[in-house]
Chains A and B, each alone.
Chain A
Amino acid sequence: MGTISFDKVSKTYPGAQEVRALEDVSLTVAEGEFVALLGPSGCGKSTLLNLLAGFEKTTEGTMLFDGAAISHPGPDRGVVFQEAALFPWLSVWENLIFSPKVRGLSRAAYEPKARELLKLVGLEAFADALPVQLSGGMRQRVGIARVLAMNPRALLMDEPFGALDAQTRLQMQQLLLDVWQSLGTTVLFVTHDIDEAVLLSDRVCIMSARPGRIVQTIPIEMTRPRSITKLTSPEFMAYKAQIMSGMQVGAIH
């Protein structure tokens, strides 16, 4: 459950000036694995996520989710967007139960779990608030909770903490670690932040810029459960150094 497989996937955006966003990407993510896609902006890592979510179609190659080809978006793959993408006219609670509600589940079936999730992300007091009344970090917590409310087999996270300040980002990373360590859902996590990639994932896939391809895959073998205190450990620094050399940070082309 929750296995992802890309086989020689390419994506070209047609137009007056064709854009080759992805080139020959092959990647397998096992059940319950946490994989980070790391790369500079414009490297096609979000495109990869959009293909998997079913928002866009591949140009070449095959892409499977639990062995089946992906044709359209669906609640088996929960997407967390960078700017949360909550419905601004719905309260936190209504946003949280949007998916079970539109899928026709009975209130009794989703309410207890939704209450639990609201508590998990620490927003019980804000159930009736509108998204506009929340901070960026709180909005993203709703964005994560509403996805967990659908019991997805995989979480696809597109730079979910990219717009947050450094301190809030650390809190959110810790929250995600805690949640993931108890759920064990497959996660594909897009980021441009090396620290974040190393801290959270089992494997970091480094992508090159346009056309995007995976140039290096580095397994992160730090023990679980992890917490943000790992960020200053020597083994963390070693991984960071390895990734920086892989990304050729500092080199000017």
Chain B
Amino acid sequence: MTSAIPGQSTIRRGLWLIVLSLIALAGIYVLALQHTPIEARQGLAQKIFYLHVPAAWSALLSFGLVGIVSVLYLWLQDPRLDLFAASSVEVGLVFSMVMLTTGPIWAKPIWGTWWTWDPRLTLTLLLFFIFVGYLSLRAALSDRSERARFSAVIGIMGLLLVPFIHLSVYLFRTMHPTPIVLKPSAPSLPPVMLRTVLLSFGVATLLYIAFVMVRYGMAIGQYTREEADDAT
């Protein structure tokens, strides 16, 4: 008999959304590779931009939400907030991996080096390790409330880095290009490239939502089972 475990419907809906998002991602590949012009100065390597920047957006969205939700957790002590934060961290690390691999692949032909200890790159790597530490800490602590409290503190520390990373290209001398889409003035891209990048942002956001739905549904189910085990 099927029992009504919390999170079950969220998982199912999330799995369908993942399928839709991956189809949309395939559409972005076709759009970027076949229907978006080649930038004259950077050549085909510029098309990495359509994967790298949306992944960076979703990574910073994930970690930004983790920080906000962590503040709320410390205030409200609702375990669902902690479970959402942990889910968002795992998904954020996936987007960070895309950002941290596509960045160097673009940098090699354009800058002539895979990596440089530039403020934007270094802070992003630091943020990645903070959240790897977040998941390691959660795995090491068995007490649920202690785990949630300590995790929330790390989540808030990560949040403090997010605006620094976005603004680092203005605050420090850096090789990293300044934003050409997410900036106060109008985007400085030809309309056909802007269309592709905006659609890529949409797909990256959809992927984030789909991944988090499944991960959160699983976390809720596991939490409910642990609670039931503790009660018996």
Question: Do A and B associate with each other?
Answer: no
| A→B interface (CB under 8 Å) | none
| B→A interface (CB under 8 Å) | none
